[in-house]
Amino acid sequence: MTLKNMKPTKRIFPNSFTSLNLFCGFLSIIEAAEQNYVLAAWLIGAAAIFDALDGVAARITRSSSQFGVELDSLSDVVSFGLAPAFLIYEIGLKRFETLGIVVAGIYLLCGAFRLARFNTQLVGFKKEYFVGLPIPTAALTIAAYILVFAEGNNLTFSYDLYTIVLVLTLAMLMVSKFRYETLPHFSIHGIKEKPFHFSFIALSLAALFLTQGRAVFLIFLFIVLFGIFNSVYLKIKK
């Protein structure tokens, strides 16, 4: 369906969620600049929710379009590229001066390259899997890291090296060829098609409840590492 023959109301519905994603990313940058780091991390999480909802809305209204894809990527580079890069620089990398700028900059550049590659390789609007770590997952991993390990509005000094390693690893994984699975559709067919994914979601929710949210970083770390091990396994299996 082209932009010309698509009803305006259908376009507005998913694009509104995309716009909210972008706005949350913008707010996250503002809060990080004002040293409200925990709130800035939560706003990245809010952006991710709106990012997921725009895809759901597009499927429900059958209004997927190239315009929506481009707007989504532009929003993502702000909310999941610039916002987390600036946030992690402000809270954990700033003390390294030039090195901190370079590390945060590498994350931002790799995120932009990841989105550009995704757009050029996209055929249709359905995806079976992602090539490279999706930028929202990378951003949420950074946000979760801050929410769990921040003491007040600062990361403790002992986490400096871990912060650099984490940011650079996420950056490299975004432009890697490792395979990362898409989220399953929440339906009977989706459960039958990807039972492991639903089991993991259920266990993750239980872990979050039992640990009062403290397990969130470990959950995202598992997702990041699982993509690597799963890709290696599939390659060996062939």
- pTM (two decimals): 0.88
**Residue 157 — pLDDT band, cuts 50, 70, 90?**
low
d(CA 21, CA 51): 6
Work out the average pLDDT over 74-97. Answer: 95
d(CA 67, CA 70): 5
Q: Which residues contact 145 (CB under 8 A, 6 or more apart)?
A: 163, 166, 217
Q: Report whether pLDDT(159) > 60.
A: yes
Position with higher pLDDT, 155 vs 107: 107
End-to-end CA distance of the chain: give it in Å, rounded: 38
Handedness of CA 195, 197, 201, 207 (dihedral sign): positive
Whole-number pLDDT of residue 68: 77
Q: Report whether pLDDT(141) > 70.
A: yes
Whole-number pLDDT of residue 63: 65
Return the exposure string of 176-198: e unless at least 16 CB atoms fall within 10 Å of the residue's CB, then b. bebbbbeebeeeeeeeeebeeee
Whole-number pLDDT of residue 199: 84
Residue 2's CB: how many other CB atoms inside 10 A? 8
Range picked from 58-67, 81-90, 115-124 for highest mean pLDDT: 81-90
Work out the average pLDDT over 13-17. Answer: 84
Position with higher pLDDT, 54 vs 22: 22
Work out the average pLDDT over 64-87. Answer: 90
Residue 117's CB: how many other CB atoms inside 10 A? 14
Residue 114's CB: how many other CB atoms inside 10 A? 27
Is 107:84 a contact under the CB 8 Å cutoff? yes
When mean pLDDT is compared across 49-58, 79-88, 159-168, the lowest value belongs to 49-58
Predicted confidence (pLDDT) per residue in 31-58, tens digit = 999 999 999 999 999 999 999 988 777 7
Counted residue by residue, the chain has a size of: 238
Whole-number pLDDT of residue 87: 97
Residue 88 backbone class (left: φ over 0; alpha: ψ -120 to 50; beta: rest): alpha
Mean pLDDT across the chain = 86
Is 217:145 a contact under the CB 8 Å cutoff? yes
CA–CA distance from 63 to each of 10, 47, 76, 97 (Å)?
Answer: 6, 21, 19, 46
Which DSSP symbol is given to 96? G
Q: Which residues contact 235 (CB under 8 A, 6 or more apart)?
A: none
CATH superfamily of the 8-182 domain: CDP-alcohol phosphotransferase transmembrane (TM) domain (1.20.120.1760)
Residue 62 backbone class (left: φ over 0; alpha: ψ -120 to 50; beta: rest): left
Element housing 192 (H / E): helix 188-193
Work out the average pLDDT over 167-184. Answer: 91
Whole-number pLDDT of residue 226: 92
Q: Which residues contact 196 (CB under 8 A, 6 or more apart)?
A: none
Predicted confidence (pLDDT) per residue in 103-138, tens digit = 999 999 999 999 999 888 776 556 777 899 999 999
